[in-house]
Chain A
Amino acid sequence: MSESTTNLFVTAIGIYFLIGFFVGLIYMFGGAGRIDPAAKGKGLPLRVRLLILPGTIGLWPIMLMKLFVQKEPPVS
């Protein structure tokens, strides 16, 4: 791999994780409860919210899709 291709590749991974971080924030503050009633409000202490963040950073395309496909009533 040439340096420029590698640069592009590494930047792409960086952007992927950055987007994941923002989707993770959405999940931490409400998104999780939207797809999973058990993860609403008190069902999801801050510690668990923090545990959800890294996974969403890695798997955000699936989780973003779930947010739109699974229609649960939004968090009150």
Chain B
Amino acid sequence: MKRAHRKSHLLLWLVLGPVMFATIILAVLNRPAAPVNDALPDALIEEAN
């Protein structure tokens, strides 16, 4: 691999890396919580199961 490529290669990663990790962190933090149905008492759910 030519040297010029090594440099642009590193630069590209220095841009892509933070973008990648920012996406992962934001995505994990914004995960929807598991839907909870408060209207149903626990006993009823257990019975249904």
Answer yes or no: A and B touching, Cβ < 8 Å. no
